C-alpha cells in the first residue's frame, strides 16, 4: 500500500483556498499510484480555529468542503482533518476528527481522544474527547489513526486517563497514522522525534506522521512530518518550514522489524513506561523527560529560530494581504536583527526603516543604522525627534513644576517615536514591526505606546543573549549587521550615557534566570539552588510579575520557545505572588 503525506500550509477559515490546496495534493500523488494520501489535523479549516468553531456557518463550510472532496476519493483514499458534529446530546457539540474518504464516500470518522488544554492549546473548550476507538480497514490492512496529542500520552506521568493506541492495539493494527498540528519551538523537533520513536518502540508498528507547516499569527508550525519503519528507522523526513509531499510503501515498513514481538501484543498489557531514548541520525540520545530540562544555551538551534521568524513574518503579511513593513531602526542589535529578518521575509524593497535620533542619540547609532540599511538595500529615512520632544516639554512645563528629569522624559521620547512610526504606517499602509526582545518584555524595560507599539512582535520570544547568536547567523555569509552594532553596550539612549545595565542585571546573568522561571516554571528557591544570588533572583522575578500589565497590552508575539508570552502564559495582572 503506497501511503503519501501532505505537509501543507493552510489559512484558517480559507475553505476555498485550503480545499484547492488539498485537491492539488490529491491530484499530484494519483500519478504516483498512491493508495492513500494523509493530510494534517483540521486541514480543511486550518489550525487553530478557536472561537470560529462556535459559529454554525463555520462548521457548515467545513462540511461542505468534505462534500466537495468526496469525488476525488474514487480511485484512492483521503485522510483529512476537520471538525465533525457530536450526535450525543451530552458533552461538547463537536469532535476534532480525521475523515477517511474512499470510493467517493465518507467511510469512517476517527475522533481525537486527548484534548490538550495547556500552554497555547484550548481544545477541550470546543471538542468532546472520543468515546470509542476503531481501526480503519483498507485494502487488507488495518490502520490505527490518531490525532496529534493522542500519541503524546506516554511516560511515567501521563496527562490523560486513556491512551487511544492502547485501545487500538486490541484490534491488531498494521500501522499507525497520526495527523498533527504540532507547533514549533526550537527544541520541538527532538521532542517530537522522541515521541514518535517511543510509540514505534512500544507498539512495534511503523508510523506515518503528518504535521502541518506555516504560521498562524503567533503560532509557528514547522512540519517535520516523517515516515518511520517498525524498527524505528526514519525512512522519510520532510523538510522543516516547507510544504512537501512524499510517500512510502507500507509493505516495506512492516517487514523491516527484526526485534521480538511487542510485549504489548503478547500480554495484552501495557509495556513499562520507562522513558524511551532517541538516537536517530545525527541527533543526540536524549530522553523525552530530558528535553524539558535542557539548560539555557543562547546559541541552541539559532538556524531554526531564524527560519521560524522569517516564515512567520512572511505568512503574517501574505495571509493578511499586507505587503509592506516599517521598522524603527535605532542602531542597536534588536532593531538590526528585526530589520534583517523582515527584509529576508518580505524583500528589501518592502521594508522601510526609520531612524529617529533624539538629543541623547550617539552619532554612531545613526551611522550604524544607515550602514545596516545600505547593506540590506532597504529604503530608510532619518527623522530627528528633538523638535517634537522639546515641544512636549514646553507644553507640559507648567504642569511639571520644574521637577527633575526622570523616566517621564525618557518615555516622551519613546512615545514620540511610536507616534511617528504609526503615522507613517497609517499614511502609507505599512505594518509596524515591534523590535522588543524577551528580556525587555520580561522585566518591563519598555514604554507602552512607545517602543512597545506595533502590529506584530518579531523578537518578543527571543532573549537578548540569543539576539547576538541570531545576528551572527545573519552575518554567516557576509557582513549585513555592522560589527559595531554587535560590540556596543546595549542602550536605549534616552538620557546621557545610559546603559541597559543601569536598570537591569547584565543580560548574561538575567537571561538564564528568566529562562528557568518562564520556560521551566522554577520558583525562587529552585533557581537560587542553581547558584544564583538570592536578592538578584527575587529582584528579577518581581520585575517579571509586576510588569504583566504591560505585556497584557502588547501585540502578538511570534512563538519560538516552549513558553512564550501571550496565549500560552496566563498569569494574573493583579496578584501578590513574588511581587
Torsion over CA: 530, 531, 534, 539 (sign): negative
**What is the C-alpha separation between 407 and 400, in angstroms, rounded?**
13
β strands within 319-419, DSSP E = 325-328, 351-355, 380-382
β strands within 241-309, DSSP E = 244-249, 277-278, 286-287
SS3 80: strand
**244-177-45 Cα angle (round to 5):** 60
**What is the C-alpha separation between 6 and 37, in angstroms, rounded?**
7
**What is the C-alpha separation between 138 and 216, in angstroms, rounded?**
34
**What is the C-alpha separation between 227 and 267, in angstroms, rounded?**
27
Catalytic (active site) residue 134: no
**What is the C-alpha separation between 289 and 211, in angstroms, rounded?**
22
Residue 178 CB contacts under 8 Å (≥ 6 apart), including other chains: 145, 146, 147, 148, 150, 151, 207, 208, 209, 210
Kindly state the DSSP code that residue 510 receives in the 8-state scheme: H
Catalytic (active site) residue 148: yes
Catalytic (active site) residue 92: no
**Cis-peptide into 300, omega within 30 deg:** no
**What is the C-alpha separation between 140 and 143, in angstroms, rounded?**
10
Phi first, then psi, for residue 239 (nearest 5°) are -65, 135
Catalytic residue among 41, 128, 149, 190: 41
Catalytic residue among 21, 84, 112, 163: 112
How many angstroms from the chain centroid is the CA of residue 1? Answer: 34
Catalytic residue among 45, 62, 114, 148: 148
The alpha carbons of the chain give a radius of gyration, in whole angstroms, of 26
End-to-end CA distance of the chain: 60
Give the C-alpha distances (Å, rounded to integers) separating 224 from 7, 80, 125, 197, 207.
8, 18, 27, 14, 13
Q: For residue 63, is it left (φ>0), alpha (ψ between -120 and 50) or beta?
A: alpha
Residues involved in catalysis: 41, 112, 148
Amino acid at each position: 500500500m503506497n501511503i503519501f503525506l501532505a505537509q501543507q500550509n493552510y489559512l484558517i477559515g480559507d475553505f476555498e483556498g485550503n480545499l484547492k490546496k488539498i485537491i492539488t495534493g490529491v491530484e499530484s500523488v494519483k500519478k504516483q499510484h498512491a493508495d492513500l494520501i494523509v493530510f494534517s489535523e483540521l486541514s480543511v479549516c486550518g489550525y487553530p480555529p478557536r472561537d470560529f468553531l462556535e459559529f454554525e456557518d463555520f462548521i457548515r463550510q467545513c462540511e461542505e468542503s468534505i462534500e466537495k472532496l468526496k469525488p476525488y476519493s474514487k480511485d484512492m483514499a483521503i485522510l483529512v482533518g476537520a471538525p465533525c458534529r457530536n450526535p450525543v446530546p451530552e458533552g461538547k457539540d463537536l469532535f476534532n476528527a480525521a475523515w477517511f474518504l474512499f470510493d467517493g464516500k465518507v467511510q469512517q470518522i476517527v475522533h481525537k481522544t486527548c484534548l490538550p488544554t495547556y500552554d497555547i492549546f484550548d481544545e477541550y473548550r470546543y471538542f468532546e474527547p472520543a468515546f470509542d476507538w476503531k481501526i480503519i480497514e483498507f485494502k487488507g490492512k488495518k490502520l490505527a489513526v490518531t490525532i496529534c496529542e493522542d500519541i503524546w500520552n506516554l511516560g511515567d506521568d501521563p496527562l490523560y486517563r486513556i491512551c487511544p493506541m492502547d485501545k487500538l492495539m486490541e484490534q491488531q493494527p498494521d500501522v499507525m497514522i497520526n495527523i498533527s498540528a504540532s507547533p514549533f519551538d526550537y527544541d520541538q523537533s527532538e521532542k517530537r522525534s522522541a515521541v514518535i520513536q517511543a510509540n514505534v518502540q512500544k507498539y512495534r508498528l511503523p508510523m506515518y506522521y503528518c504535521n502541518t507547516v506555516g504560521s498562524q499569527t503567533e503560532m509557528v508550525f514547522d512540519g517535520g512530518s516523517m515516515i518511520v519503519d517498525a524498527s524505528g528507522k526514519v525512512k522519510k523526513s520532510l523538510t522543516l518550514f516547507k510544504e512537501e509531499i512524499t510517500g512510502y510503501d507500507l509493505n516495506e515498513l512492516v517487514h523491516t522489524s527484526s526485534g521480538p514481538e511487542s510485549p504489548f501484543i503478547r500480554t495484552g498489557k501495557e509495556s513499562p513506561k520507562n522513558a524511551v531514548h532517541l538516537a536517530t541520525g545525527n541527533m543526540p540520545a536524549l530522553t523525552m523527560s530530558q528535553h524539558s530540562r535542557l539548560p539555557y544555551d543562547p546559541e541552541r538551534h539559532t538556524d531554526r529560530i531564524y527560519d521560524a521568524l522569517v516564515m512567520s513574518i512572511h505568512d503574517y503579511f501574505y495571509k493578511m494581504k499586507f505587503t509592506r513593513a516599517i521598522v524603527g531602526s535605532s542602531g542597536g542589535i534588536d532593531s538590526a536583527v528585526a530589520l534583517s529578518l523582515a527584509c529576508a521575509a518580505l524583500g528589501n524593497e518592502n521594508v522601510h526603516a526609520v531612524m529617529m535620533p533624539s538629543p541623547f542619540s550617539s552619532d554612531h547609532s545613526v551611522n550604524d543604522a544607515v550602514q545596516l540599511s545600505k547593506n540590506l538595500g532597504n529604503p530608510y529615512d532619518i527623522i530627528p525627534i528633538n523638535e517634537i520632544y522639546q515641544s512636549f516639554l514646553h507644553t507640559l512645563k507648567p504642569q511639571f513644576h520644574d521637577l527633575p528629569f526622570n523616566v517621564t522624559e525618557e518615555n516622551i521620547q519613546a512615545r514620540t517615536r511610536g507616534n511617528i512610526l504609526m503615522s507613517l504606517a497609517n499614511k502609507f499602509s505599512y505594518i509596524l514591526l515591534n523590535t522588543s526582545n524577551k528580556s525587555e518584555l520580561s522585566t518591563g524595560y519598555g514604554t507602552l505606546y512607545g517602543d512597545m507599539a506595533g502590529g506584530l512582535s518579531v523578537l518578543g520570544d527571543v532573549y537578548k543573549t540569543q539576539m547576538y547568536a541570531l545576528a551572527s547567523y545573519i552575518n554567516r555569509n557576509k557582513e549585513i549587521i555592522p560589527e559595531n552594532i554587535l560590540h556596543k553596550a546595549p542602550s536605549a539612549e534616552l538620557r546621557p550615557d545610559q546603559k541597559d545595565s543601569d536598570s537591569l542585571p547584565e543580560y548574561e546573568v538575567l537571561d538564564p534566570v528568566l529562562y528557568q522561571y518562564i520556560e521551566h516554571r522554577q520558583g525562587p528557591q529552585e533557581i537560587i539552588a542553581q547558584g544564583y544570588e538570592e536578592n538578584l533572583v527575587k529582584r528579577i522575578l518581581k520585575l517579571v510579575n509586576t510588569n504583566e500589565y504591560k505585556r497584557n497590552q502588547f501585540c502578538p508575539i511570534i512563538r519560538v520557545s516552549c513558553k512564550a508570552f501571550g496565549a500560552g502564559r496566563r498569569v494574573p495582572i493583579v496578584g501578590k505572588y513574588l511581587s
